[in-house]
Chain A
Amino acid sequence: MNQPQRRGTLLVMLLLALIVPILAACGGQAPSTGNTGQATAAAPSTAEASTAAPATTAESPTAATAPEATSAPATGGNILRIADATWPDSLDPQKSSFANEIAILQQNYEGLTRYDKDLKTVPAAAEKWAYNADATEVTFTLRDGLKYSDGSPLTAQDFVNAVYRVLDPHSPGDYQTLLFMIKGAEDIINTEVPTDEAKLPDLRKALGITAPDDKTVKFELNQPTPYFHTLVGTWVMYPAKQDLIDKGGETWYEDVANQVGNGPWQITTIDKSANLIEFKANENYWAGRPKLDGLQVKYIDDLTVALQAYKNGEVDIMTPDPNDVPTIKSDATLGKEYHEYPGACMNAISFNLNKPPFNNQKVREAFAYGFDRAGYARDALKDTEIPSLTWIPQGYPGYDKNETRFGYDPAKAKQLLAEAGFANGAGLPELKWSYNSNNPANQARIEYIAQMYQKGLGITITPEPVEGTTLTNLRKSNETYPQITTSGWCADYPDQQNWLSVYWQSSTNFAKNTGYKNAEVDKLLGQADIETDPAKRADLYDQAQKLVVGDVGQIMRGVSKNTYLVKPYVQGLDFTPQDSDWSGQITGTFGTTITK
């Protein structure tokens, strides 16, 4: 009689043991990251305010003069709320290499130069720059009275420190190659640490960057680099404060107190538990403060969910899933709020040029003529790509709007294939089309292409799914480069050099891996890279690009579209091809207003 009773209590205790931790876990726990309490509490109230009180006027003068506004995020409708997909893991200007991370840094910091809405390189922290005659020396002059957002002075040495940090052999930045033309840069990165630690101070002294005074940054370069002023607009040159980094240790970037910047905005919250990054207007920005009071970037992984948040009025800008785009376009309200414009990536189809059958120019031409770019963009990509016959996308310097070769022409394709000795595909080796299987949508796309070639040219193509990183590695040598595969390139900075020399010169990895080699292209690009006359330079790049397209080293396919939903009350956004995460990202939403 007694025993069962006791076991009953044990059972109750077992259940209790399960439930107690739940209660404990659910109890309030202090948020663990960033500047929290106030700012996170403000988040929901902002949303309520914006739906409940649409009458709030934009740009109230009181908000503009409010002293050092920690209360700024609470002013309601004057904050732009942006939905982005993936949480930025690392917000370190000299180490970050992913678009979602750079997008945040671009708001908080500013380089010597920046890019305007037409992707021209314009003065930023530097008011002017001057090259010497052969473009091996560049001198940047900073603006008068530059300040960080906390009011401390921003000097030339802060930019020198940024270069030291990228080129740190202890912990190099992934993108340090951008600066390899600086004199002595490679000596530093090739230093063995800790063995040759002692040499570093001298190597740094010998490095081709100096700050003769607080307002001057001078670069000495190994070779003429007439596009250097564009390079220094990239994120690796953002002047994060060295003393705060030293104090903050390896994860300094997680603490907003260390992210004191010089961009139009200042980060106030980095809170992963609320999926939220917030900015306030930087009152000390050289051009004055932005018109809005703040930015909120909310991270929502699932694009369908983000769309619900947008419909709900919880965010003002979001990127829709390509599959939702047709529905959005036909929707009476959403259709008007949908914006699309050319983006930063050229999508192409690349071959292993050293292996049959694609070592044969005629076969490549046949494949190029046989590709229905318009049909593919419309049916397989739901209109999220703009067909293109040339390499540099529209909107970027060097775009060749006159290219007409290799447009869709199945008859010509058939004829060329016959001339190559493979009439109707007879005699072709087995063709495998490798694609990145991480994205489930790719399978249908490659099937579409296979069917297109089957119908048009009688060629049988087998789609071959390959895991993403594996595919990247197959592409790292010509031995393993796939026969045929979807490929492409996204701009790092707006200059022809980044599209042509980095990709098509036979010494680059891309050309080596596909087996592309054209002596004439090499010569033209070599000349263009060091040409100081802008018009001549553009012309040389143009000639090289025409040769590249003519060689069918790749089939140029189309430009990715930037697609965003933007609430109608958001005005003055700059739509820039380089926007990777939201509209207006590149120009920093400086002049954007919200009028409800």
Chain B
Amino acid sequence: MLAFFLRRVLWAIPVIFFVALVSFFLMHQAPGGPFDKDNNKKQVDGATLKALNARFGLDKPQYINPAAAQTLWNKGERNPMKLGGAYLDSQFFNYLFNAARGDLGPSYRQRGKSVQDILLKQAPFSIRLGLMAFTFALLAGIPLGIIAALKQNSFIDYFSLLISTIGVAVPTFVTGLLVLIVFGTTLKWISISNNDWNDFKPYIAPSLVLGLASMSFITRITRTTMLEVKRQDYIRTARAKGLAERMVVIRHMMRNSLIPIVTIIGPGLVDLITGSVITEAIFGIPGIGNFFVTSLFQRDYSMIMGTTLVYATLIIFANILVDLSYGLLDPRIRA
């Protein structure tokens, strides 16, 4: 188990390197740079741009710097470490080395702040929202799916079908606005603009909105797998040996139907934490969701890389945890 875990963690390193390389390459394929202004505004002039690029290291070559190594060689330097260092004195490798040390670089858009400071400061808001939405999705989705499966074709089954169809089909910007209009403007249960996001209460409405789609998905998957498991021979065996129906459901049916759910839990959780752009915008939560989109438009290179790497790392580790948890649920996988 430990060896399996370590192997997976080590494998994560080349994966992250590759993710970094690909995103760096793609990001620089897009024309423009972080100091471009709106179309209708005066652009930064040449001298200023040069000074800004020098300030942020954007005047260096993108991947390798043979010129610097050559200069050093001509100066009589023969230390391979120093020569190699000069050769890799480029935007990409400087970024990687710094990132490995936990320094994700300065944001070009938010002057004077580093990407890790911004992410560390804003991520807790997204994490709180994501975890609450996720808890709601699990606590509502799984029971609803189980009941729907046990009482197949009953009223509650159709009700769960209705709820989950709505949840999947109606986009968050519609449900979000609907919730604001009904609970904010009409009923005045929640406030639209006077929310302190260090508090717990304001998160309730947005997490229900955000969690609805995941809940619907989990409900459907739970129902389907439960129905499948219900017809298995070992369920009949369990019943035949006289086990109480409650035990049959809990110990045999649920356990076995959990595997497909666990598979989607890891990536689903990461999705909820990072992918809440719209929910965050509607409810005004100062999380990291919008950085994923706006940093691209702004060519805020270090922010693009920072968010991509954080997302990649979260996904990878969520998947490792999911793989580990299989073993807990199904002894056959543990081997």
The stretch of A23-31, A218-226, A374-382 that contacts the partner chain: A23-31
Q: B198–A29 contact, CB under 8 A?
A: yes
Shortest Cβ gap from A321 to chain B (Å): 12
Q: How far is the CA of A32 from the CA of B173 in the complex (A)?
A: 29
What's the count of A-B pairs with C-beta under 8 Å?
A: 192
Q: A302–B36 contact, CB under 8 A?
A: no
Shortest Cβ gap from B22 to chain A (Å): 19
Shortest Cβ gap from A177 to chain B (Å): 5
Asked if B242 is an interface residue, CB under 8 A from chain A, the answer is: no
Asked if A7 is an interface residue, CB under 8 A from chain B, the answer is: yes
Q: How far is the CA of A29 from the CA of B177 in the complex (A)?
A: 28
Asked if B328 is an interface residue, CB under 8 A from chain A, the answer is: yes
Please judge, given known A-B contacts A273-B198, A470-B31, whether A301 and B281 are in contact too, CB under 8 Å.
Answer: yes
Asked if A492 is an interface residue, CB under 8 A from chain B, the answer is: yes
Q: A90–B112 contact, CB under 8 A?
A: yes
Q: How far is the CA of A224 from the CA of B282 in the complex (A)?
A: 51
Which chain B positions have C-beta within 8 A of A19? 135
Q: A305–B282 contact, CB under 8 A?
A: yes
Shortest Cβ gap from B74 to chain A (Å): 19
Please judge, given known A-B contacts A89-B109, A177-B45, A309-B192, whether A468 and B297 are in contact too, CB under 8 Å.
Answer: yes
What per-residue 1/0 map shows which CB atoms of A226-259 lie under 8 Å from chain B?
0000000000000000000000011111000000
Please judge, given known A-B contacts A177-B45, A305-B180, whether A314 and B193 are in contact too, CB under 8 Å.
Answer: yes
Asked if B44 is an interface residue, CB under 8 A from chain A, the answer is: yes
A residues contacting B by CB (< 8 A) are 4, 7, 10-11, 14, 18-19, 21-22, 25-33, 40, 43-44, 47, 83, 87, 89-90, 92, 95, 97, 169-177, 186, 189-190, 193, 249-253, 272-275, 298-302, 304-306, 308-309, 311-312, 314-315, 345, 436, 438, 467-476, 487-490, 492, 502, 509
Q: A490–B284 contact, CB under 8 A?
A: no
Asked if B113 is an interface residue, CB under 8 A from chain A, the answer is: yes
**Candidates B113, B124, B196, B298; contact of A25 at CB < 8 Å:** B124
**Candidates A306, A315, A469; contact of B297 at CB < 8 Å:** A469
Which chain A positions have C-beta within 8 A of B286? 87, 272-273, 275
Task: Name 23 interchain pairs, CB-CB below 8 A, sorted by A.
Answer: A11-B328, A14-B328, A18-B135, A21-B131, A22-B132, A25-B131, A90-B110, A92-B112, A95-B111, A172-B55, A272-B286, A298-B194, A308-B184, A308-B185, A309-B193, A312-B185, A436-B39, A470-B32, A471-B39, A472-B32, A472-B39, A473-B32, A475-B39
B residues contacting A by CB (< 8 A) are 30-32, 35-45, 47-48, 51-52, 54-55, 109-113, 121-122, 124-125, 127-128, 131-132, 134-135, 138, 173, 177, 180-181, 184-185, 188, 191-200, 203, 251, 281-284, 286, 290, 297-299, 325, 328-329
Q: How far is the CA of A33 from the CA of B44 in the complex (A)?
A: 31
Which chain A positions have C-beta within 8 A of B281? 301-302
Please judge, given known A-B contacts A14-B328, A345-B40, A469-B36, whether A26 and B203 are in contact too, CB under 8 Å.
Answer: yes
Please judge, given known A-B contacts A169-B51, A170-B55, A305-B180, whether A274 and B131 are in contact too, CB under 8 Å.
Answer: no
Chain A CB within 10 Å, residue with most, of B111, B197, B281: B111
Closest to A489 in B: B40
**Candidates A30, A314, A467; contact of B192 at CB < 8 Å:** A314
Q: B191–A314 contact, CB under 8 A?
A: yes
Which chain A positions have C-beta within 8 A of B328? 7, 10-11, 14
Closest to A560 in B: B40
Closest to B195 in A: A274
Q: How far is the CA of A274 from the CA of B281 in the complex (A)?
A: 13
Please judge, given known A-B contacts A47-B194, A304-B177, whether A438 and B48 are in contact too, CB under 8 Å.
Answer: no
